[in-house]
Amino acid sequence: MSDGVNGNGNGTAAVRTEDLWKVFAHDGIRVEAVRDVSMTIEPGEFVVLAGPSGSGKTTLLNLLGGLTRPTDGRVWIDGTDITELSERKLARLRLERLGFVFQAYNLLPVLTALENAEFTLLLRDVPPEERREKVEKLFERIGIAGLEDRRPGKLSGGQQQRVAVARAVVGEPALVLADEPTANLDTATSTALIDLMAELNRDLGTTFVFATHDTRLMDRARRVVRLVDGAIVDDDRRD
Amino acid sequence: MSTRGSIRLRLALRNLRRQKRRSVLSGSAMVLAMALLVFSRAIAEGGHEDWIDAGVRMGGGHVSVEAPEYRTRRTLEYRLSPEVRQAVRDAVASPDVAMRLVVAAPRLTVHGLASSSSGALPATIMGVDPERERAFSGLDEKLVEGRWLEPDDRVRAYVGARLASRLKLKDGSRFVLTAQDANGDITGQMVRVAGTFRSGIPEVDEGFVQIPLTTAQEWLAMPGAVTSEALLLRNSRDVGPVRSAMRSALSEWTDEAAVLGWRESMPELDAAVRMDDWADYIFHLVLFVIAGTAIVNSILMSVMYRTREFGVLRALGLERGEVGRVVFIEGMVLTALSGLVGMALGAAIVWGFFRNGLDFSAMWDMEMEAAGIVIDPVIVPRFHWGQIVQSLFFILVIGSLSSIYPAWRATRIDVAEAMKFEE
């Protein structure tokens, strides 16, 4: 594990938050996007953050991923309090322990599918042969083998999102955060993608946290945390 | 290069390639600026070299040796003795000087009067070695009537055409030169007109007379002595090393001989060249501000357009500074490539079209004179290594300055906000 981002012994939860607040102030108007959220997600969980638009799902996901700093409260990822980390250490933590899947795929347009998928491994100085082997295996597994040399512009939405999933999981992160990953996909592609992530969760033990409206995804989740106006109103465990 | 470094470089280069049209358009401003820089520097260098060449030929040479106080007093009391002249000749023969030398010309200059039956006028009288002076000043080529001085001439004079006209002198006419000799006595010398010349410089044509050096030395009672030894060099950039070599060789004679470069002996010409250089620099500055603005604009637009992409890079684990470096590399590569293309284009234009000179005579139909020299309307462009180094330096500076701000902007992107950005 990297230097400087080791846990402080605060349990082995994949994610833990304590009294988490995120308040935006714009033109003198105060918006409480996340209100007093305390939750724990164990390793290997497949969790959905559900709620209407504006309920704070994406903001909470950004807080968990260290993409934005909380106004108050704390977040531990794999035992590390990320609210205390410097920008540099936070970047390192994101690289080594987190994977992201975005609604708009967000592949780097100038890189090929393979280069996109191996991007985090490249940043971690993994040798080229090992990178290629890992990505090719993953591409085979998620059904996009043979598309390695295509640029994102030459891939369908479903294929792009699969590459994005491959990029998120290839480094075997402690946690994958996915923001509306199926929102831009048709039904069949969405279902296939959900199957794929459930399979990766089951087989690799990767923890997934989704922010979504998608009922199909909620149906597959083993835990659904409902948010309204930035606060948790229900935490439904289905184990 | 580290793996992360190679990723940054790869991202930067591919982004430039991805935005081909924008890269080419903004790069073309730099291409144009560099081409103009190379072209205008070559023309300016060529023009300056012409000015300097004309100036030193009519004046004291690229390097001159004279008595320390001669420049301020202008009297024969301050002259170079035969012993000092021998030391100068030895120094000139040394390899460091000889390899850069065209010719060394001894001169005995005095201010006096030229008189004929039509009147008397003030004149600068210069005793010269006819053969050496022919190679030095080229004044023989400005002949109007008669001929240039011959080595065995005794009492012949080569006279400025305006002076000859005002004294009503013709080829073969006799007239008298009067001046104070080395002993302080007023003394006269009768001479005959060998030829008249027109240099184009009013002061020279109205008051300059050249006579054989031996005649001048006898007349002014200073056998073997001169007021200066003037050195004409192959290139004005050789002044530094030659002056140093001469100073070192004449270190034992510092009380009697001072070694001056043309900038010291001709401060008006130096000022004219410097002023022209500054005008050039201002022109180049304007040029580069325009090119730099185009580059800044292009890179900044690219940063704005790719806000989400930079957010993704940050989310995936790139640090702020690394994102900034991707943008900085893009700016530097764009500037460097377009700058180098511009340099090559500028050099090709100069070499292809103007290697034999750019003729400005259509723009001015009369003789142009500045700082005591006649400006040749045909300017032959010149290149030297310094110009290439200077151009590369400009590329580096403009590239850095144009890339810093967009790079800084890229580092300030808020990752969470960037994800909301619509491309």
Quote the tokens at residue B221.
Answer: 């009672």
Question: Within its chain, how far is the Cα of A165 from the centroid?
Answer: 9
Residue B28: which pLDDT band, with cuts at 50, 70 and 90?
Answer: confident
pLDDT in tens, B292-345: 888 888 888 888 888 888 999 999 999 999 999 999 999 899 889 998 999 999
pLDDT in tens, B122-148: 999 999 999 999 999 888 999 999 999
The owner of tokens 């229900």 is A234
Instruction: Give the pLDDT mean for B75-102.
Output: 92
- Would you call A106 and B419 a contact, using CB atoms and an 8 Å cutoff? yes
d(CA B313, nearest CA chain A) in Å: 8
- Would you call B316 and A68 a contact, using CB atoms and an 8 Å cutoff? no
First-last CA distance in chain A: 31
Instruction: Give the pLDDT mean for B219-231.
Output: 94
In angstroms, rounded to a whole number, what is the distance separating the alpha carbons of residues B261 and B59?
11
Which of A65, A68, A106 lies closest to B308 in CB terms?
A106
Q: CA nearest A93 in B: which residue?
A: B317
First-last CA distance in chain B: 32
The three-state secondary structure class of B377 is coil
The answer, for B9 touching chain A at a CB cutoff of 8 Å, is no
Which of B11, B15, B316 lies closest to A120 in CB terms?
B316
In terms of phi and psi (left: phi > 0; alpha: psi -120 to 50; beta: otherwise), the region of A226 is beta
pLDDT for residue B401 is more than 90: no
Instruction: Give the pLDDT mean for B6-31.
Output: 85
In angstroms, rounded to a whole number, what is the distance separating the alpha carbons of residues B273 and A236?
85
- For residue A204, the model assigns a pLDDT of 84
Q: Strand pairing partners for A25?
A: A30
d(CA B312, nearest CA chain A) in Å: 7
- For residue A7, the model assigns a pLDDT of 38
Digit-by-digit pLDDT tens for chain A (239 residues) are 333 333 334 457 899 999 999 999 888 889 999 999 999 999 999 999 999 989 999 999 999 999 999 999 999 998 999 999 999 999 999 999 999 998 888 999 999 999 999 999 999 989 999 999 999 998 988 889 999 999 999 999 989 999 999 999 999 898 999 999 988 888 888 888 898 889 889 988 889 999 998 999 999 999 999 999 999 999 988 86
d(CA A142, nearest CA chain B) in Å: 21
pLDDT in tens, B31-79: 888 888 888 888 888 888 888 888 888 888 999 999 998 888 878 889 9
The answer, for B98 touching chain A at a CB cutoff of 8 Å, is no
For chain A, the helix, strand and coil percentages under 3-state DSSP, each to the nearest 5? 35, 30, 35
Instruction: Give the pLDDT mean for B164-181.
Output: 95
| pTM, entire model | 0.72
User: In whole numbers, what is the pLDDT of chain B averaged over residues?
Assistant: 88
Contact yes or no for B145/B160 (Cβ under 8 A): no
The owner of tokens 């001709």 is B266
pLDDT in tens, A76-124: 998 999 999 999 999 999 999 999 998 888 999 999 999 999 999 999 9
